[in-house]
Amino acid sequence: MTFARWTISADAHDLHEHQHEQEEVWNIVEGSVVLIVDGSEKEMVAGSAAVVPPNTPHSVRIIGPAEIVVADFPVRRDLPGVPTT
């Protein structure tokens, strides 16, 4: 698994639509974002979590500052800071 903790500022750019082979779990620690999974939008607030199935288009709309933990399975090596070996 790959775990990443993201600190998102209120003026951050939205996360473009993309997909990947890993299942992904979004856990909102603080703040809120809008998670769009396969065209369905849901505002995610602190304490909530959502699963993005493998190979499913998803994106994020930033609506304010947030702290988020994202877990990917299997390991996702194309994230910033994750070793490629």
Residue 18 placed within a domain: yes
The enclosing domain of 46 has a CATH number of 2.60.120.10
Residue 67 placed within a domain: yes
Domains identified in the chain, total number = 1
Distance CA 44, CA 26 (A): 9
Residue 85 placed within a domain: no
User: Is it true that the peptide bond before 57 is cis, omega within 30 degrees of 0?
Assistant: no
Q: What average pLDDT does the structure give for the chain?
A: 94
Query: pLDDT at position 79, please?
Result: 77
Residue 85 pLDDT greater than 70, yes or no: no
Residue 82 pLDDT greater than 90, yes or no: no
Residue 43 placed within a domain: yes
pLDDT in tens, 3-15: 999 999 999 999 9
Query: pLDDT at position 81, please?
Result: 67
Distance CA 66, CA 4 (A): 13
Residue range of the domain that includes 49: 2-73
Residue 80 placed within a domain: no
